Structure formats: C-alpha cells, structure tokens
Structure 1
C-alpha cells in the first residue's frame, strides 16, 4: 500500500506575525483576526463631497461623494477645507500685468485644464498672471497658498499676493529650492516647500499672514524682469489656515471639500495601530477599540497601510 503525503501549504500572509488587524490600501487587501477579510469588514469611509487625490504618476484622480480616495499611493484622509479662489485652474479668466498670456495644451496632471505661458513684456520682476481679486482675507489670519507651474525659459518664479495698495512676494529658484528675494509689504510670506511632481512641474507651497482685511490677488510670473522670459502657470489654491491639502477645484465661486471620515472596524479588545504613509514614515496610535474613527490630523494625509496589534 502506498501512502501519500499532502504537502500543500497555505500561502504566506502579507501581514506581520502577531497582527490582529491589517489594511493595505495600496494593494486593496485586508485582514481581521488573522484571516483575510473584505474591505467592507475592515473599514468604511464617508465624505459628503467629491475630492481629488494623486496617483503614482502624480495625476489627480476624481473621487465622487463617499468614495474612498484610494490610489496606488494609498488612501487619502484629509480634513474639510475651502479654496478661496474662484477660478483656481480656469486661467482664461486670469489677468495680466506687464506680461502676456498664451494658452497651452492641457490638461496637466489631470486637473490643470488651461495652462498658460506667461511672458514678461514689461521688463519688471513683478510681470505676472493674476487671479482676479474677488476673494477676501482677514488681517492677521494666515492662509496656505499653493502655486502650480512649469518651468519654461525662466530659471526663477515669482509668487505674488497683492491688495490694499501693496504686495508681498517670493522670488524662488525651482532648481535649488532657494528663496532669492522676499517682499513683505502686505504681511509676512514664507516658502514652506517646493515639490517637483514630475520633471519640470512644481508646486510651491507658501504661507502668508496678511496685514489688512479685504480683497486680494494671487499671481505668478517669470520673476526675472527680463523681457521675453517665460513660465507656464497651471493654477493656484488658497486655503484658510496653514495646512496644505489636495486640490479643491471650482469655477466661478469658492469651493469646499468635506472631511474624510474613516472608520476602522477593529476586532474585540484594545489595539495598537501603526500607520505607514506614502512617504514610508510611520505613526502609532495606541489603545483603541471597536469602530475607531481615524483623526484627520495624522502626520501625513495618504495612508499606505495600517497594522493593528492586540494588547
């Protein structure tokens, strides 16, 4: 008589040994109590508006109301915000000062539908393309400004806010990320970071604390004062406060995005959760249980994985 041995082995689990809960948003796989689980058994998400989130190619993807903003980078979880600019990507409605504007092919990165080549025609460092001054700010209340642009012939960019008869501005070098000059007539303005999303395409994030109340303009230009120098403007966003979030897009009026409400359906007992973000940094939240609502002020907005350990 021949005796056969069954050598079949269960495939290796993707979660670490001893984990009680797992969510891998990049691969769309989930676990509860040491067993694979459906997404709906591990988390739920509510959001009373649409939103955009970047994918692995830096293109922004649209997600409708209550649809988790999950891409190959992970799940985007953000607080509510408002973009004060009425036409953040509708550059056909923007105005020129000491410059000309020539439409370019779009969209760029999925959302910038009206790129514009801004050419210095006035031999001045503040030659610019400007969003109309139909948004109001409040004295002493900070705003977070995101300026999106592509390099053209200019090796600089000027980021500009204007109102009440004066302006604040930053002249930056995209190549080095340096701030080359600063003007603060209308309140302190500082560069927080310069992110190159794809080669030659940048987002400059700056905070500004205005020293007046009333309407203001936001603008971008080549920043050299050399006639004929160019930059490609893509758009801009202005959010109350000092937090930068994903683009919020409207046409003709300020636009808002609701907060993401992410609830984890944890197994019984207490759990220590390790969040790994898109940039591979981590954050630990300890001793949570039940249907746990994840805060929207995590260290990063895009979550790759969440691993829970009971205890």
Structure 2
C-alpha cells in the first residue's frame, strides 16, 4: 500500500494538517483503502498548532523512512519562514526521507522545501499573500503565485489552505483515476476540479457588476462536443465579447479559450476511462476535433497519449 506521511512542522497550520489524512484516507477501491496515511513530527514531542493548541501525534520522524509520499502542511516555523534556513531537528527529519519519495507541500510548507534546496530551479507556488517574502528568501525558485498548485513530477506544491485539497485530489486522480478522485471529492463535499488559479482570490478592486458567466459555463459543459467560439459564449451570456472576456477572467482566473480547452480535456479523460469509444470518437465528443488534436492536448495537459492513458486508468 502506498504510504503517505504528513510531516507536521511547528507551528503547523491546523487546517492544512488535516487535508492529506482526510483526502488520502478516504480513497478506496472495491472497499479497500488505497493509502496508508501517517502523521509525524520532527521529534517525539507534541506539535504546536498555529491557533492555540498542541497536537499529540502517533509517530515520530522515523515514519518518514518508509514514505512513498511526504506532505508538508503550512507552517509558521521561524527558520524557513523568516531566515531561509532549516533548524537542525527539521533538517535531520528531512534527511530520513527516501530519495524515491514524492514531495508535496501545502501553502507555506513550500518554505520548508525551498529552505531544503528542493525547489531550486523548479516551478512552485505558495499562498499569494506570502509570495513577496518567498521571493526574497528563495530567489532560485521559479515562483508562480497565480495557480492553485504546481505538479513538477516528483515535487508538487499548492497554494494556500483549500488549494491543498485541490492538490491532494489531483494526486489521487493521477494515481488511481477520476472515478476514485470524484468519490473522494463527493465525500469531502468539494468540487473534484476547480476552475482557474488563485489569481482570482488575490485582493484587488472588484470588477464592475456586469453579471455572472456561471450560467454560460454550465451551458457550455452540456455541449462540449459542439463548435463553440468566444462570440457564441458572449451571446449566450448577453454581453459584448470584451465585457464577457473581462468578466470571465475575473471569475475564473482564465481566459474563455483556456477554460474551454481544459474542460474538453477533462471530458476526454472521463470518456477514455469509462467507455470503449475509439479515440477519434472521444476527440469528437469532447470537442477536440481529431485524434491528433486530442493527442496533442492530452500530452500538453498530463504528458501521456490517449491510448496510454486508457490502459492506465480504464475501469479502475
């Protein structure tokens, strides 16, 4: 069983600490748990939580030695957050992690990975409010505070708080397919996939009240296989193209074209997993046109070809 170990670094953010145990602990298939989830500290002492209490953990840092995935929740730890360095006990705990393990951070947990040098030369993210401090401390990291999470293969980082749920669901989806991830999302009463990035949550003047694009987005999802362009979407919303584009980006953090392509790829993945439709039919029904176009979009999104994706995830 894939072992997920959550490393709580004092002062750990309580919300973040519970995300991975809940999401991975809920993932099942045919009644069997898919992940063994453990929570540990950098030593055997209780861990201070950022909002006025302590957590008594079941495991010490030795749990890291058998980890397949290590998740570092947000933390207020002084060294990584203020000085760009690791305290000796945290450095010793991180040294226990196998080189083969997948590393994941939630929110300001990225400061820990950056202080360890793991993110040097890599693209990463963290909570948008802490981006200036992160850049000052870790200039070698390619920080993008406009996204909900970054998947850089064996190292993944998420934006603040709830974006940790998005990232953990993404990992479940990558490991076991959309059906399992969707079941977990339903149990957690959260959407299986959120549109846009955290740019939509950054404090900024509110856009003018031009109406909402939500109804048009719902309308589009019912007809992804049809030819749709920006003019058709704006017409459905009862807006000019310019107003619709501005409002759409304010609400989703994406352009209408980028959002539409994303939804079509997600629908294509669902069809590849749950049907035996030929690849060209999947491409047509998802609105991506041809098998070649589907192959290009799927490879750009997740780095695999349609048939390889189907072999991995079909009927899981």
- Pick the TM interval, shorter chain: under 0.3
TM-score by length of 1: 0.27
Higher normalized helix content (fraction of residues):
2
Higher strand share: 1
